[in-house]
Every structure is written in structure tokens, then in C-alpha cells.
Structure 1
Amino acid sequence: MGAYKTPGPARRIYDLVGYLTEQFGGGSRHLKMAWVINFHKAFTLFLILGMMAWLENFSTSAWVYLGLHGIYGYCWLVKDFGFRDGSFENRVTWGGALMTYLLLVGWYWLFPWLFLTRATPPSNELLFVAVAIHSWGITWMIAADCQKYFQLKYRKGLMTTGMFRYTRNPNFFGEILIYLAYALLAGHWLTWVVFIYAASYFYVRMLVKDGSISRYPEWADYAARSSRLLPWRLITAPFEAHTLRENES
């Protein structure tokens, strides 16, 4: 397997979004992207509380949702303060910050509103599934970002072990699970539009990343035994190992 070439449309979308969220409107770049994102994460808790007060919805399920989506932002902040992704150090214009909200993160605020205004509260079973998916997603995202930060800090190169053993994008996998939990809880068609929109952009970033890391000599072997997103070999690997032992015996 040779070097992977990022599809042209994916590359153009990635470059366009990068331009709009960093340089739109021109002028000085006074803001770090981390500040833009972190404000969104920190403010979400209070925004959801405000929605609950406005709608007079203080049901048990509303508090559960607040504990998930509202506190997720503070999990993110702990991660950011401990091992920030280098890309968030990029400086952006005020127009770029605005476009970050209009194109990317602002849409996530639809989830709590649509959840709090749903006609019937979610079942206990749905709450369980959402909490389970959300917890798993946060674990994947934070563990992967932690490994990425410290491994690249002390040893540059292609990451093929740990969280990256079976999927090349465990952090994106975790984030998708997190927003999947919110979409399930909201139970509205519009939340699925937002979810698919967000997941599609994550996928564009995965395609661009594959094009970048395919320059490493280990790429061919790594790509053959890993997936772009779903860590499906977590399930199949034990069976493959069992079959191999049987063949050797």
C-alpha cells in the first residue's frame, strides 16, 4: 500500500474551513483558537441552565442532560489545560472566531434546546444508553489526546500503539460518541442533521490526516491492521489470535 492521497473535495473543504475559522475578515489575530473553543465549553453549562429556567423544565432528565452536556465542557477544559492540542494554539481573527461558531461549534447548542422542549421525557432505558455512550466517548477522546500529546512530545513519528492500535482516529471516535448521546436524547430530526453535519466534517479531517501520516514508512502495515474510525478489531482481534494459535498447534 503506497501513500494515501486525500480526495480533492475533502482537501478543499478542509482548507476552506481552515481559512474561514482562522482568517475570515482579515486583520490582526489576537485570539487563540483555544480561547474561542474553551469559552464555548465553559459557557454551555450556564446556557443549558438558562434554557431550563426559561422553559421551567427542572425534571430529572433535564438535570441528567445538564450533567452530561454541561459538565462535558469542563472535562474538555481539564484536558486542554493538561495537554492542549497544538493546533489550538493557532491565532485567529475576530471574524475567524465568529465563523468557528457559525460553521462548527454553535450548532451544538441546538441539542439541549430540542431535548428540553421534547414532548415526552426520555425513557430510563434511553437515559442509560446515552450515559453509557457518553462515558465511553469521553474516555476514548481524553485517553487518545493524552497519548497523542505525550508520545509526540517525547517521540515524534507515527502512533500505532495504545489507543491508536486499532483506529487511526480514537479522539474523533470519542467525540462522535459524545454527540451521538446528545442526539439520541434530543430525539429530534434536526439534531440528527447537526450530528451528521458534524460527523461529516470529522470524516473530512480524518481523510486529510491519512494523507499526512501516509508519508511514514510504517504506514502500509498500520493502515492494513487499523480502521479509519471504528475500532472493529477490538472485537475481532481475540478471535484472530485464537485462530492463529489453533493453526500453529
Structure 2
Amino acid sequence: MRQVTDYMTRDFLGGPRPLKFAWVINAQKGGTCLFVGLLMLWYGNSSPAAWVYLALHGTYGLCWILKDVTFPDPNWQARVTFGGAAMSIVGGLGLYWLIAWLLISGVSQPVYPLPDHAWFALCIALHTLGIAIMLSADAQKFYTLRVQRGLITTGMFRYIRHPNYLGEMMIYGSYALLVWHWLPVVILAWIWIGIFAVNMVLKEASMSRYPEWAAYKRRTGWLLPGL
């Protein structure tokens, strides 16, 4: 699965690799605030749900740019072809914008299980906590590995092995809850199983070379403590 996704996002159609993968990701995430705002203007949607979505997804994009400027992930520095960049948008990153379109265009007419204000509060809380977990985990990993290579078993990694992925899932899960439509569930299932889960399995295979790995794995959870 990793070979397939690497080919589709980095080498699709072949040719030179003039672009950094980080540039593609940053363009999509950083442009989300503008994209959602334009959708609201185009469809004349100024509902509370639309404004909450703009605040959440737009702010996340800005937080991602800040993260990349401050402590960039070396995995995103790989060079990609134009075809790979296009496939990254069509098959992955662009699907996140589809979630926004469902809500702003009115295709999704959410009827929440709770009163609207209570549901908005739930989505905001989940989103805020997710950003805190993701940023904290990525910052800890970046700065720890600058001074000491090896298995990280403290801080955000003390009880779970993949807190950065947990944070990402909470963030995008909050958007799915806000849109309240079946299609975001399908999109997130594809990304979480086809990309996130594969990355986590391969990361653990790499970490298993450390002598302390077996003990660390026994006392920690994959995404949640005890699980």
C-alpha cells in the first residue's frame, strides 16, 4: 500500500521532480481559509455552522503553516512530480475541501443529535484538543530527535505511540461531525485506513529495531491508552 501511495503522490506520470511535497500540502492547508470563505460568498451561506466551519478548518490550515515554518516534518521535504502533486490533491488533500463544500453548498442539511449550540461546542472542543495534541507531539518529536536519536517514550508518547495521528483524526473528525453527512465518513475511512494506518504500521516496524521497543509497546496503546 505504501508503494502505491508513494508512486501516486511522488512519481505519478514520471518526469522531473521540481516540487517539494511540503509545498503541495501547505498550498492546500494554507488555502483552506480562503477556499471556505469564497464558498460562503458563492453560495450566500452565512449560517452559524458555516462560520464555525470556517473558523475551525481555516485556523487549522494556518496552524499547519506555522508548524511547517517552525518545526518542519522531514518526510514532507521529498520532491514530487507535477503528476504526483495533482494526484495528492485529487486523491487525498482535495477530498478535505469536498467536506467543506458539502456543508457550505447546502448539499448537507445537518440535523444534529444535540441542540446546535451544544453540537458546535462539542466540535470546537474536539478540534482544539486535537490541534494541541498534534502540535505538541510533532514539536516533541522534532526537537527531541535533533539532540538524541532513538525511541521517544516520554511526554506525548508516554501512553500512546501515535499521538500526532490521534490529533489529526480528532481534527478532521470534528469537521465530519459538523457537516453530519455520510460522505465525510467514507473520505476519512479511506484516509485513516489507507494512509494513516499503513504509516503507523510501517513506523512501528521501524521502531521495533530498538531493544526497549517490546516493553514500550506492552505498556502503551496504539491511539488510545490501553487499546
Distance 2:180 2:49 in 1: 13
Distance 1:62 1:160 in 2: 40
1:53 is the counterpart of 2:59: no
Matches within 5 A, 1:75-224: 75-116=63-104, 117=106, 118-120=108-110, 123-200=116-193, 201-224=195-218
Poorly superposed stretches of 4+, deviation over 6 Å: none
How far has the Cα of 1:120 moved from its partner? 4.8
How far has the Cα of 1:62 moved from its partner? 1.3
User: Based on CA coordinates, which of the two structures has the bigger radius of gyration?
Assistant: 1
Structure 2 runs not aligned, ≥5 long: none
Q: Which amino acid aligns with 1:119?
A: Q
Distance 2:133 2:40 in 1: 29
How far has the Cα of 1:20 moved from its partner? 1.4
Q: Are the aligned partners of 2:49 and 2:178 in contact in 1 as well (CA < 8 Å)?
A: no
Distance 2:39 2:199 in 1: 32
Matches within 5 A, 1:2-81: 13-81=1-69
- Per-residue Cα deviation, 1:89-135 (whole angstroms, up to 9, x for no partner): 11111111111112211100111111221325751111011000000
Q: Which amino acid aligns with 1:205?
A: N
Distance 1:115 1:203 in 2: 27
Q: Are the aligned partners of 2:103 and 2:109 in contact in 1 as well (CA < 8 Å)?
A: no
Give the TM-score taking structure 1 as reference length: 0.86
The alignment's C-alpha RMSD in Å is 1.3
Structure 1 runs not aligned, ≥5 long: 1-12, 234-249
SS in 1 for 2:31: helix
How far has the Cα of 1:61 moved from its partner? 2.3
Q: Which amino acid aligns with 2:171?
A: I
Q: Which amino acid aligns with 2:89?
A: Y
Distance 2:205 2:125 in 1: 33
How far has the Cα of 1:198 moved from its partner? 1.6
Q: Are the aligned partners of 1:61 and 1:121 in contact in 2 as well (CA < 8 Å)?
A: no
How far has the Cα of 1:32 moved from its partner? 0.5
Distance 1:192 1:173 in 2: 16
Identity of aligned pairs, percent?
45
Aligned residues: 221
Distance 2:147 2:91 in 1: 34
